[in-house]
Structure 1
């Protein structure tokens, strides 16, 4: 490739998300209902207190291109979140994939939902084959250096959390306290509840006071209750005004001077 002077940035000369494939029909996994509902719940409740919603992006089963030297290599996390980047690609288009050299911002957290076919790779128990792309664990830990890596086994309800320490993932003891991420003022824990009609343990975000972040349905219900309460207050005031008028007659006009 011809080198210009000064050199052009990777964003200008490397493939964009429009040039790279966004799905692979031969790729297995991620199609069961839990892999649909759990990422959706994570997305609905991921509300960082110190970032506007238009500067937060979450991806579900989306190609994540990570290596500008091997532009066709990608991983496909079950769910990941990026903060400080527009929720739209170049603030105008829905993403087909997430391309690191185009976006310039790495994920803050990746969540993998264990399944029998991906368990060993998710847990870093597979070895990189010769002349093959790095494993998922290697990409998250050594290439993207994702600060928080969360693995949830829905069959055993085991939750594992890893954070980068001395350039390697180290397990976090969450026995007595769930994961808290100071940079976004959010925590991630296991919530026993009903979502999409299914009662079970779910991964769920919570705020600094320990309150579970409301889902979309819960937020709409809160708005409905607030609207109903406001309507009741208005109706009560109108009723009191009507009683006053019935008792004392027409209210005096304001602004006039007394003689």
Structure 2
């Protein structure tokens, strides 16, 4: 896909201001019913592998805030990762996230390709700003992922010298430094959906299980251990019976098997 050259624009004035409590967040409908399952599966695998820490922010369709030329801009990527955020009070629900004043910069954003107007590739440099422009120039997110689950295709862009560079996969997977994991496409079934999923692999190439897969693996291990225990008991019982039969034959011959 060819991106149009960004028109010459003055450098935008970017400030970081917490979203006012009375700000009405956009309530756009989800463009595809698969967006939530895809995002949930990514988070679920991280949680099952104990790779989510309390100071992290991992969310789906969650607003990231910046103030550009005195206008509040909110983008809600389909999935995002922030390595460290400041805690909020126990009775406070985090409605949005403003980098630099509420915690560290956003580390990873993902967009699942929609059927609309290629908004995931938009470099519109004026309000309300294109997604690619916003992530690259304003937030300067190190890793931007675009996933088309129908094709399926996966694109990973890394920020180099303030510009996104399309990465080349290694054996079909992309290294995501912020999470120290590989990201790739996997076809299979979860929650009754047989589709193309995004999955994580560790540095050694091991697939990170979803919690359901982990539970099934643990069930199978428990079943195998029970089977081994049953086999050991059966073997012990067979040996006991063999000894009883042998002792009975010795008694028939007038030999006391218990005599020393």
Q: TM-score, normalised by structure 2?
A: 0.71
1:33-80 Cα deviation digits (max 9, x unpaired): 211211111111235989553233211111111238747321011111
Contact 2:56 2:83 in 1 (8 A): yes
| Partners of 1:89 and 1:225 in 2: CA distance | 40
Counterpart of 2:175? 180
Q: Does 1:220 align with 2:215?
A: yes
Bigger Cα Rg: 2
Change beyond 3 A, Cα 1:157–1:202: same
Number of paired residues? 229
Cα deviation for residue 237 of structure 1 reads 8.0
Q: How does 1:1-259 map to 2 (within 5 A)?
A: 14-16=17-19, 18-21=21-24, 23-25=25-27, 27-28=28-29, 30-46=30-46, 52-67=52-67, 70=70, 72-85=72-85, 89=88, 93-119=92-118, 121-124=119-122, 126-129=123-126, 132-174=127-169, 176-228=171-223
Q: Helix, strand or coil: the match of 1:213?
A: coil
Do the aligned partners of residues 199 and 227 (structure 1) sit closer, same or farther apart at CA in structure 2, a change above 3 Å counting?
same
CA pair 236-63 structure 1, distance change in 2 beyond 3 A:
same
CA 1:51/1:66 → structure 2, altered by over 3 Å: closer, same or farther? farther
Deviation at 1:235, TM superposition (A): 7.0
- Secondary structure of the 1:73 match is strand
Contact 1:114 1:152 in 2 (8 A): yes
Q: For each residue in 1:77-119, what CA deviation from the matched residue of structure 2 results, as whole angstroms up to 9, or x when unmatched?
A: 1111112336x64576442222325422122111111112141
Return 38-47 or 88-97, whichever deviates more: 88-97
In the TM superposition, what is the alpha-carbon distance from 1:242 to its structure 2 partner?
A: 9.6
- Does the Cα contact within 8 Å between 1:189 and 1:203 map onto a contact in 2? yes
TM-score by length of 1: 0.72
Residue 245 of structure 1 deviates from its aligned partner by 11
CA RMSD between the two structures: 3.5
Give distance in 1, aligned partners of 2:37 and 2:70.
32
1:49–1:197 CA distance, 2 compared to 1 (3 A): closer
Shift, 1:164, TM fit: 0.6
- Indicate conservation of the 8 Å contact 2:48/2:211, yes or no: no
SS of corresponding position for 1:84: coil
Cα deviation, 1:173-223, whole Å, max 9, x if unaligned, reads: 226441112343211001121122222221111111212211121122233
- Alpha carbons of 1:32 and 1:50: their partners in 2 closer, same or farther (altered >3 Å)? closer
